[in-house]
Amino acid sequence: MLPFSSAQLSQTTSHLTPLLRSFSHPSPPPPNLLRRKLPLRVRSLDAAQPYDYEAQLRSNFRKSSSLKIAILGFGNFGQFLAKTFVSQGHTILAHSRSDYSSVASELRVDFYDDPHDLCEQHPDVVLLSTSILSTERVLRSIPFQRLKRSTLFVDVLSVKEFPRDLLLKCLPPEFDILCTHPMFGPESGKHSWAGLSFVYDRVRIGGGESRVDRCEKFLDIFAREGCRMVEMSCAEHDRYAAGSQFVTHTVGRVLEKFGLESSPINTKGYETLLDLVENTSGDSFDLYYGLFLYNDSAMEQLKRLDMAFKSIQNELFGHLHRIYRKQLLGDAEGARDLGTTRSVVQKLLSNGAPPNAEPPSDPDSAT
């Protein structure tokens, strides 16, 4: 038996019919509402926030690949590196003997006056960006007890055997060591690092997966910028650097002392020499002296430069002498003297030459 009588059901349906008709044929909005463009208003936040999985994944990846890097020595070169580190999403801390707090703030870097306060932040990486001559003093002033026992130490000095031996001697055995040399500086790398050489040597990296991964993350900073990654021992680096970097700085400083100046008729070769003077003169003498003092091959290269200059000088004056001798003694004896002189010059220039290999270039340096 139905719960409602037919009369009651008919009465209820008659009341519902206008309501159903209004839903199926909604009445048009008022004319004034059509003319106005009402702003969209969110009445409920819970209903208006879709979950952005892509943004969340990017955020998680950025956090997993980022490092907390402490830069000791926040001078010109340290600031130069910090800009790229920050742009890649790494957290940067800095300490220096001079107050660079205002510069650090502009670069979004946390600056610490006291190295104890910096070390208590437990950075993943401690980067030594000091001058060669002050490296030992800075290293011995670090409160190692405030750092994590597996902290990675990295140097960016222009010589490699000296910091390698110093780090092995001073650091606790639990700490990791990565010796590196960016073969560029604020001048040659101010527009891009693409194609510029980055030399590194994994001196001591712990066997744990997290420690190996941390080292690779740091190296990836330079690989992502397009650097030419060159892995070689510290001894190899110093041998090649003495034949390229030290010679480059020496020639640049000699030309600076010579007083090289631009002229209205500069050739491309002369412009190259002017650029060399500009790049090398911007570095301190302490850097140049450090390249000489802490690279065992530098003295040999300096002697070879001196021999090469004297041989060219002797060849020029000897040529004049041969012309006069040829006029006085005839062609036969003059030709014999010419052949003897050339063999002596060739012997001087080839003495102690480095092996035929492609050394990493170094347009300029800052440490």
Q: Is residue 354 predicted with pLDDT exceeding 50?
A: no
pLDDT score for 52: 63
Q: Is residue 347 predicted with pLDDT exceeding 80?
A: no
**What whole-number percentage of the chain has pLDDT above 90?**
56
pLDDT class for 319, splitting at 50, 70, 90?
Answer: confident
- Give residue-wise pLDDT tens across range 254-282: 999 999 999 999 999 999 999 999 888 87
Q: Is residue 48 predicted with pLDDT exceeding 60?
A: no
Instruction: Give the total residue count for the chain.
Output: 367
Q: Considering only 156-165, 218-227, 288-297, which range has the smallest mean pLDDT?
A: 288-297
Token digits for 341? Answer: 């002189």
Q: Give the H/E segment covering residue 231.
A: strand 228-231
The arithmetic mean of pLDDT across residues 153-169, rounded, is 97
- Residues 6 or more apart from 132 whose CB is under 8 A from it? 157, 158, 159, 162, 286, 287, 290, 291, 293, 294, 367
Q: Is residue 22 predicted with pLDDT exceeding 50?
A: yes
Q: Give the H/E segment covering residue 280.
A: helix 268-281
Q: Considering only 181-195, 245-259, 287-301, which range has the smallest mean pLDDT?
A: 287-301
CB 252 within 8 A of CB 276: yes
pLDDT score for 356: 47
Q: Considering only 30-39, 150-159, 199-208, 270-279, which range has the smallest mean pLDDT?
A: 30-39
Average predicted confidence (pLDDT) for the chain: 83
The arithmetic mean of pLDDT across residues 53-73, rounded, is 73
- Residues 6 or more apart from 98 whose CB is under 8 A from it? 74, 75
